[in-house]
């Protein structure tokens, strides 16, 4: 009986949080198109989130390209299909691995940062002070950060894909003496318009999810330093789960279009 009550309470809390998150998202969509527009703050956040994530995304992409090629090459060699390596790696990275891995890295790097930053501002009553002074803290703090992540993540995905393909090329060059032109000619010959567009579109939704959840957790952070840590941690966990859900929906919709 106690276990049932506990599950019921957790389910109720989850549904309440989903309702609050939906309202938060609708408020963002309404505020994003209202004047005045905080262009300076938007550019500042784009720089902070994009530039400071370049190194982490680059290293992650390079390792992904190396590991994927090293792990797959022996199997393809066994079946005499090693010539398909550039095509296989290119499609895998551009379609799926690049966007989702980059989004997960940014969820840990950017999502937790937004949650902790806004959480600390809520705890120290800086957001309350902005509301009292007549400033719209939601537009200045939330809208700019969500738009910045939404705009920067696709660029980071493209960068991560390029570096991952370069890492794969290095392995093929060392193991199979494949030239740079031959490798990338095969990669681009195998890619189609239908591979690039869905991956790019879902990257925007990944960025939107990271920004919305990070800002939501931080903006409504509970009082105390423990609340700041909880906001940052829950932002990463919830965003990671949401990214997989969005990715599944994107793949499902894309598959339907392929079948038509």
d(CA 147, CA 167): 31
DSSP 8-state secondary structure symbol assigned to residue 148: H
| Structural domain boundaries enclosing 228 | 38-259
**pLDDT over 50 at 195, yes or no:** yes
Q: Let me know if residue 15 belongs to a domain.
A: no
User: What residues have CB less than 8 Å from 21, skipping those under 6 apart?
Assistant: 212, 213, 216
Domain tally, the chain: 1
**pLDDT over 60 at 1, yes or no:** no
Q: How confident is the model at residue 154 (pLDDT cuts 50, 70, 90)?
A: very high
Q: Let me know if residue 222 belongs to a domain.
A: yes
**pLDDT over 50 at 2, yes or no:** no
**pLDDT over 80 at 23, yes or no:** yes
Of the candidate ranges 29-38, 84-93, 177-186, 222-231, the one whose mean pLDDT is the lowest? 222-231
Q: Let me know if residue 183 belongs to a domain.
A: yes
Q: How confident is the model at residue 4 (pLDDT cuts 50, 70, 90)?
A: low
> What are the tens digits of pLDDT across the range 213-258?
999 998 888 777 777 888 888 888 889 999 999 999 998 888 877 6
pLDDT score for 60: 94
Q: Let me know if residue 116 belongs to a domain.
A: yes
Whether the full predicted model's pTM is greater than 0.85, yes or no, is: yes
d(CA 49, CA 148): 7
Give me the mean pLDDT over the 93-99 stretch.
91
User: What residues have CB less than 8 Å from 206, skipping those under 6 apart?
Assistant: 99, 100, 103, 106, 153, 243, 246, 247
d(CA 227, CA 105): 23
H runs (alpha helix) in the chain: 2-31, 39-51, 54-78, 85-92, 98-106, 112-123, 126-132, 137, 144-176, 180-190, 193-219, 225-259
Q: Let me know if residue 26 belongs to a domain.
A: no
Q: Let me know if residue 5 belongs to a domain.
A: no
Give me the mean pLDDT over the 68-76 stretch.
89
First to last CA, the chain: 50
Q: Let me know if residue 24 belongs to a domain.
A: no
**pLDDT over 50 at 188, yes or no:** yes
Q: Let me know if residue 76 belongs to a domain.
A: yes
């Amino acid at each position: 009986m106690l276990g049932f009550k506990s599950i019921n309470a957790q389910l109720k809390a989850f549904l309440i949080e989903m309702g609050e998150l939906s309202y938060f998202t609708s408020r963002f969509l309404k505020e994003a198109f209202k004047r005045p527009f905080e262009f300076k703050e938007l550019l500042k956040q784009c720089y902070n989130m994009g530039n400071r994530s370049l190194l982490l995304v680059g290293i992650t992409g390079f390792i992904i390209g190396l590991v994927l090629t090293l792990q797959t090459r022996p199997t393809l060699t066994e079946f005499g299909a090693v010539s398909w390596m550039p095509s296989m790696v290119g499609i895998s990275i551009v379609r799926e691995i690049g966007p989702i891995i980059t989004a997960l890295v940014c969820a840990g790097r950017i999502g937790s940062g937004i949650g902790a930053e806004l959480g600390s501002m809520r705890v120290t009553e800086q957001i309350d002070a902005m509301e009292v002074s007549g400033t719209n803290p939601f537009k200045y703090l939330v809208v700019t950060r969500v738009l910045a992540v939404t705009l920067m993540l696709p660029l980071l995905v493209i960068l991560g894909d390029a570096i991952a393909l370069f890492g794969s090329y290095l392995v093929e060059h060392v193991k199979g003496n494949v030239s740079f032109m031959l490798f990338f000619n095969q990669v681009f010959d195998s890619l189609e318009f239908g591979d690039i567009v869905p991956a790019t579109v879902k990257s925007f939704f990944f960025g939107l999810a990271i920004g919305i959840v990070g800002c939501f957790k931080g903006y409504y952070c509970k009082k105390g330093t423990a609340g700041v840590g909880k906001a940052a941690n829950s932002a990463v966990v919830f965003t990671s789960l949401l990214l997989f859900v969005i990715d599944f929906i994107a793949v499902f919709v894309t598959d339907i279009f392929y079948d038509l």
